[in-house]
Structure 1
């Protein structure tokens, strides 16, 4: 108080009411600008007396005035002396104490309902003034906030761009409204996560056991794509509140100025991708949550033009790489269903071809010899072909470091770096014929932006299914001989997709071992499936070959499980779900004995000589199924060395070209190890997404929209579809298939195996006549040798599609040298 008294003593004596008012204002300033730590919560008696005396003076003549009028004059007077006295009220040193007056005034006004209403109206008007002043900048992005559908790019729809837009909106453009809403949502008393509506959790399609997050190892336990909740507790609640507040800010900004449209443009495309009807889209547009459907279509057309430019960019000639990027294509059929039939308006099926361009990994191409990647090197290798002659369920070891490894060693690992993929525009193919594949090549050349001389002047690797390759070979044979590249197509090298190869081989093997499901005594693969609880009639489906391969893997694992139980002499003992621990030496001995007794070539030869073919049939089935399973697992692991060993691919290309082609058979779409898929399988996934989005947009008969808007932008539309979940705080997890055999399934399988005696452990004195299953490997080689020895010693049938430099080498006369043992028909799987 000494400082205040000293200041007052130095102040001149009041000569009039105005000068005394200046004294009062100075006294108020002294008390208001003090630091908050020195502020007195209770007025002293002397201070109270002084305030009363000032009020008495204010109420005395001349010029009576109230304290409110005094403050009015003090705060509004243009007098220089008074303005000087209030100079610190709005300065940083005085603002804290000035703002302490606001709650005091509010508390006094709130004493009556009328005062409360007037105060609310005042605050509301002030809030409106602040909100109006905080407006997003006008103009085109990046100077303004307007994103035109005529210039939008794929980068606008990325998650990073969205986060930047949200930060700019809430921190720079409309921080007051964002803070106001967040303050209300984060107020004390908000219900905890335990009180959340259970229906909302079920609607989110989130598994309870994955809400804490999913590790890479756990992710393999599930299949396809899952959405997991990575946030919990307060962090989850804050993220939800922040999403609500940010969305409200964007809606208000769009309603105030329709050219502030980042969220609305994204939502328009997102709703279109999710198949929202025009009625729903129009309603959300009316609420200011999205742009119009016309704007969404305009944005997709702009993105299509950008995608066409990207296709030309990746297909452009590269000085540093003489080989073209790989093109993967597949047929796609879309039904155009018409409900109200009329003349010229009928349901029909659109038949086309679609695919994508796989840009090779730069690290891979840099490690290769470019001289071996040229078209001349490939044709030279093909010329040499003329001289080619075809010549986990029971126990765990106590020490895993000394046990036999359960995973095979890696032979040739592919990089799991996320690939660069550019979708092609959907192409018309008149039918499944040579003419159709010719139309496809013309369309690819047109999309690439290259001249025919440039496109056919370098080596062009391509992937396709069996039907596509047959049509291509038929087209090339019709055009041969020709010295023009666009006619002889000598620069195109087709590879049969790894998945289609596996599906064809797997389907043939599965059918070979399936057996007669109408005969209860027949011990075919159908008995194994029924014992594992899977309906045998649903095992081989042309629309779901992945399911077929998975069932073959389950049958193989269950059979090995039974073999191991036999080795342990516990085939009649119920072990339960818990696994025992064996000494490492015994564990290794069991594995070795199981291999020698049931998996080795010697075991199959001995079983083939037995009178009863039951054991031989089981071991051959186990061997054949294990080949398919090994191919599947090597594909998922990205080990192209193991895969080529299983498929028995012979290498006669230059080393660099052989490595280039083999390392481009598989990709890891998510960029993670042990999550590889074949490129043709990934194209099948894209085909599914294209059909799904096309059938859910309400325009199932407009093929032009499918070709012009959807096909090139399918990755973006898929991302927009998934973004509805990510905006809800969920993470997208790309997962691999992994079969799981439950203890109950294995118990039922053990019961079947013992009852049917699949390993012929207790031979019957009067065995039932059982058909013997041929060894597919030995029988196949025997037929090939017989055909070479008697019908085709020059291997014309094998080599007819490998080179085309001689007239007549591609004629179909070679197919006449076939006997009844050879099936000339090929069915693509």
Structure 2
């Protein structure tokens, strides 16, 4: 085989005297037309923070291609002589299965010796599924986890275990804490901002203004003043590669007590525990709302509250800003695509902040140029401070213009509310649960004033009371440190744990719908669901074997210069940020934060706020949505 391999490499490479220019010309001819677009959306496929793009080095790409072709031919020859030499073929048939190759094409590739049979692929996946079942049972072995009971999805980082008190991690400690919480007097002051959270909120808004300036308007000439594009960290999580264990797909009723029982029964069966090992009650289960679902649903309610009225010509709600930015949406994108909704919110927020900066710097009538302005760092800080004082502070809410102009008041409320959404999203990406909790404390009040929020007007307040006042410190640390996860183990690529599960759910549907084997629910449950991470890696490996490179890249939601100038012209004509023209005034947007405070005060005066802490935790489990992460506490 070494002789055949070297012979094939020499033959494919051609004469050694071939110039690099000729090699590059051959490379251009050999590549397909679609490979020329190196930054196409089809090519930049995102795999949980991994971006695959074509190799930039032609010589390196050609060398790898020659070696890969020679290895494939040698493997085909070895497989044709002895079917037991099927390492490459078995890997190929698994990659083809994950890539959606039909059984008819797979049988032909097996005939020419390029892959194994489809039956062999399913047999391999079944073997991997059995191995995953054994690993899951070993993980759920109570004798192997002296401090923490096994988690359903991923274990907390090892560095956190040294900070926990074993006495606070028992079922008895949990039940005692919840029993004491049921007797607690809930006051509105538990949700009011503290000095630290107020300072953090001011720093957050100023960092968002600074980011908009540096991205679209100006660049500093010097570094005398440090420009903060991100607020200071509160409680960051160190990035570590997660220890993830996927359970098999379960069949259960949706949003019902029977469905919850089916889920826990499935967990007991897959973990290898007996009914004696597991509790027959729900005393050892603590439901926690998922961070991503909380962000999505509250953002949706805020976005709808600030959407505005398209029939009013002087309405400058979120729809008018999106229309000026080239987004023709007759109604807000909410349920269909949460990520697109968050992108729209970020665009509206940054465009509003940028125009506020232009008003402060007396440049609202001047079009933005392609080249950023070169100003001193002191000037940028002055613009940030003046913009915050004029449009983002509490004094701006009490100014005469805000009291007399509904349009201006709506703008201030939109900046304030959308700022909480962006800060929560960026805090999750930066793995800072302290910043995220600051926003949840604001949402606990805002959800009381938002419409059609029956669940999230109760869950965030309950969660805050549990984490800050009710639960033991060790359990609270475990909950906070498992809200976010970094699939790549790198900083800046964190996401909510429930969002990662939604991504895996998408891949499960993708593989099953593109495998060309029909709808067999047993195969979906026993083969695909437990091997979802393996199939996902194989699909990524298929691109890597084609000569692609792995690049860690975060999505950038940047607005083009022409669209920003179009928005500025609209804002200038509608006198946004100034006294509006005479005409039909738009509908006033509800100040959900102030309304929420009033509702909490009225409820506290009338009946008290004890309803925020349920005394029957079993009912709380039944009403918890499927987005919640269930954490099992060992007895």
State the TM-score bracket (shorter-chain normalisation): 0.7 to 0.9
TM-score with structure 2 length normalisation?
Answer: 0.85
Task: Give the aligned partner of residue 362 of structure 2.
Answer: 569
- How far does residue 206 in structure 1 lie from its aligned partner after superposition? 6.1
Query: Contact conserved, 2:97 with 2:121, CA < 8 A, in 1?
Result: yes
Q: Shift in Å at residue 273 of structure 1? A: 1.2
Match of 1:697 among 502, 512, 515: 515
Q: How does 1:61-76 map to 2 (within 5 A)?
A: none
Identify the match of residue 755 of structure 1 among 551, 561, 573.
573
Out of 309, 313, 321, which is 2:138 matched to?
A: 313
Deviation at residue 251 of structure 1 after TM alignment: 0.3
Alignment partner of 1:654 is 2:475: no
- Structure 2 equivalent of residue 743 of structure 1: 561
Q: Does 1:359 align with 2:169?
A: no
- 1:370 and 1:322 map into 2 onto residues whose CA distance is 6
Aligned equivalents of 1:541, 1:656: Cα separation in 2: 37
CA contact (8 A) 1:668 1:677 kept: yes
Q: Distance in 1 between matches of 2:555 and 2:409?
A: 31
Aligned counterparts, 1:59-208, within 5 A: 174-188=1-15, 189=18, 191-197=22-28, 200-204=31-35, 207=38
**Aligned-residue offset at 1:193:** 2.3
Residue 382 of structure 1 and its aligned partner are, at CA, apart by 1.3
| CA shift in 2, pair 1:180/1:505, >3 Å | same
What is the CA–CA distance in structure 2 between the aligned matches of 1:411 and 1:825, rounded to whole Å? 29
Contact 2:86–2:116 under 8 Å retained in 1: yes
Q: Which residue pairs with 1:798 in the alignment?
A: 612
Partner of 1:426: 249
8 Å contact 1:383–1:803 — kept in the other structure? no
Match of 1:530 in 2: 323
> What is the SS of the residue equivalent to 1:732?
strand
Q: Within the alignment, does 1:726 sit opposite 2:544 as a pair?
A: yes
Indicate the larger mover: 510-519 or 710-719: 510-519
The 2-side partners of 1:382 and 1:390 are apart by: 17
Q: 1:388 to 1:533 in 2, by over 3 A?
A: same
For the 8 Å contact 1:206–1:229, the answer to whether it is kept is no
Structure 1 residue aligned with 2:444: none
Residues 539-618 of structure 1: matches in 2 within 5 Å? 539-606=332-399, 610-618=403-411
Paired position in structure 1 for 2:592: 776
Q: Which structure 1 segments of 5+ residues have no match?
A: 1-173, 328-356, 457-485, 813-823
In structure 1, distance between residues paired with 2:472 and 2:88? 53
The alpha-carbon distance between structure 1 residues 231 and 826, as it changes in their structure 2 partners (threshold 3 A), is closer
- Matches of residues 166-315 of structure 1 in structure 2 within 5 Å? 174-188=1-15, 189=18, 191-197=22-28, 200-204=31-35, 207=38, 225-230=50-55, 232-315=57-140
Question: Which residue in the other structure is 1:389 paired with?
Answer: 186
Q: How many residues are matched? A: 571
1:207 counterpart SS class: coil
CA deviation after TM superposition for structure 1 residue 519, in Å: 3.2
Task: State the SS of the aligned residue for 1:419.
Answer: coil
Question: Whole-Å Cα distance in 1 between the matches of residues 502 and 393 of structure 2?
Answer: 36
CA 1:223–1:623 in 2, change beyond 3 Å: closer, same or farther? farther
Contact kept, 8 Å, 2:287 with 2:621, in 1: the verdict is no
**What residue number does 1:411 align with?**
234
- Aligned twin of 1:673: 491
- Kindly report the root-mean-square deviation, in angstroms, between the aligned alpha carbons of the 2 structures: 2.8
In structure 2, list runs of 5 or more residues that go unmatched: 189-213, 442-463, 629-635
**Distance in structure 2 (CA, Å) of the matches to 1:665 and 1:509:** 23
Over 3 Å counting, the alpha-carbon distance change for 1:194 and 1:785 in structure 2 is farther
Q: Which of residues 164, 184, 187 in structure 2 aligns to 1:368?
A: 164
Secondary structure class of the residue paired with 2:519: coil
- Give the whole-Å Cα distance in 1 for the aligned partners of 2:276 and 2:571: 63
Aligned to 2:602: 786
Aligned counterparts of 1:311 and 1:712: Cα–Cα separation in 2: 10
Of the two structures, which has the highest relative contact order with CA contacts closer than 8 Å and spacing of 6 or more?
Answer: 2
TM-score (norm 1): 0.65
Taking the aligned partners of 2:90 and 2:624, their CA distance within structure 1 comes to 52
Distance 1:413 1:299 in 2: 41
Are residues 723 and 763 of structure 1, via their aligned partners in 2, closer, same or farther at CA, if it must alter by over 3 Å? closer
CA distances 1:343-384 after superposition (whole Å, capped 9, x unpaired): xxxxxxxxxxxxxx1122111112222222222222222122
| Matched-pair contact (CA < 8 Å) for 1:274–1:721 | yes
Per the alignment, do residues 811 and 256 of structure 1 end up closer, same or farther by CA in structure 2, a change over 3 Å counting? Answer: closer
Structure 2 Cα separation of the partners of residues 705 and 363 of structure 1 = 38
Q: Deviations over 1:207-248 (max 9, x none)?
A: 2599xx99xxxx99x996531234613222111100000000
CA displacement 1:598-635 (0-9 Å, x = unmatched):
01112112267522211111000110000000000000
